[in-house]
Amino acid sequence: MTATLPWSWYSDPEILAREQRLLRRSWQYVGHDGDLTPGSFFPTELGGLPVVVTRDTAATIHALVNVCGHRGAIVCETSGERDSLACPYHAWRYELDGTLRNAPRSERENGFDPEKHGLERLPIAQWGPFIFVAGDPAAPPFEEVLADLPDRLADLGLDLGSLQFHSRAVGDLAANWKVCVENFLECYHCRVSHPAFAKVVDTGPDDYLLETAPTYSSQYGPVRAAAPTAEFDPRGPLERGQFHLLFPNTAINIMPGHANLSIGPITPTGPRATHRFLDYFFGETVSPDWIEDMLAFDARVGAEDVVLVESVQRGMEAAPDREGILFVDSERLIAHFNDYVRNAID
């Protein structure tokens, strides 16, 4: 056995402030390339840092700090399609690559250099259709963070290039973001709390495999030989599920059956509040009926998890001077994540 992080860390605003700095300097999933046509943009946030992701008219994707260089106003509050970004405060206008196009009355100021007052550019990368942004120019190369995770998907037989965006699920939870991550990182609770999932995927300790890597953790669940198919048919080319956490907070899910993947960040909005979204992708030949069944099945499991994490949050807050225990065999991915957080925010 090993100890968890102190339970006070799951409601302490000072700990969250340190974690936000970790999130800001990390690579996170923000959306997919189908979100952006040439001349479009959408806002997002990384560790409390406002960001806007754009695609210019030459089809190049950019990530910019979404803060006007004049007086600090947020430039874009909503998605849109225009050839430039305009600050709503004093109408400073920026190109979609962040270059300052125009600042009203700037011609009256001696020495004003537009080239010095554009929106700050941030690192941006793509993995298949998935867009990742880091809120710190000094972030490590994305390829180093992604490491050999693409090989895990390829070993399953999943071709990212064949996936098409289907829909986005959005939700808010009354729980610390780490509670949500830790719930994602183990299936020790699945037989008790997700009975339908445990009938489809073999969650036994000798069959449900756990792997750790420096920048991610993985779970692999084979389909049960006698899995029921009434709610969701797990039989198909993908013979087992894969569930990955790309540190610190990007969840990647692949259900067994046909070509599918969901991906999204687990984002703190307060010490006791988390926002989540999942973008769902499917192969172009996957049956609409199978997609409908799989989404309903996934939503059911997700709703069960909401009850669990919000219960854990209430319990931790009732005893903040305590810490829990982890079974190193069944919960070692949580121990791995706890070590990562502890080392990253020290």
Could you report the per-residue pLDDT of 287-326, keeping only the tens digit for each? 999 999 999 999 999 999 999 999 999 999 999 999 999 9
**Rounded to 5 degrees, what are φ and ψ at 89?**
-85, -60
Q: pLDDT per residue over 137-176, tens digit each?
A: 999 999 999 999 999 999 999 999 999 999 999 999 999 9
Q: Is residue 23 part of a domain?
A: no
Last residue of a domain, one of 117, 138, 159: 138
Within 10 angstroms of residue 127's Cβ, the number of other Cβ atoms is: 18
Domain boundary among 85, 110, 138: 138
Name the β-bridge partners of 63. Answer: 53, 122
Res. 56 pLDDT band, cuts 50 70 90: very high
CA distance 180 to 271: 12
| 346 has a pLDDT exceeding 80 | no
What's the mean pLDDT in 330-338? 97
Q: What is the pLDDT of residues 255-294, one digit of tens each?
A: 999 999 999 999 999 999 999 999 999 999 999 999 999 9
Beta-ladder partners of 260:
282
Question: Which sign does the torsion angle of CA 23, 25, 27, 32 carry?
Answer: positive
220 located within any domain: yes
State the Cα torsion 284-288-290-293 to the nearest 10°.
130
Q: How many domains does the chain contain in total?
A: 2
- Residue 81 covered by a domain: yes
Read off the CATH number of the domain in which 63 is found. Answer: 2.102.10.10
Domain around 317:
147-345
DSSP state for residue 76 in the 8-state scheme? -
The answer, as to whether pTM is greater than 0.85, is yes
Average pLDDT over residues 79-84: 95
CATH number for the domain that contains residue 167: 3.90.380.10
Is the separation of the CB atoms in 74 and 50 below 8 Å? yes
Q: 17 with 242: CB under 8 angstroms?
A: no
β-bridge pairing 250-254 and 240-246: antiparallel
Would residue 26 count as lying in a domain? no
Copy the structure tokens of residue 65.
């700090």
The answer as to whether 11 is a domain residue is no
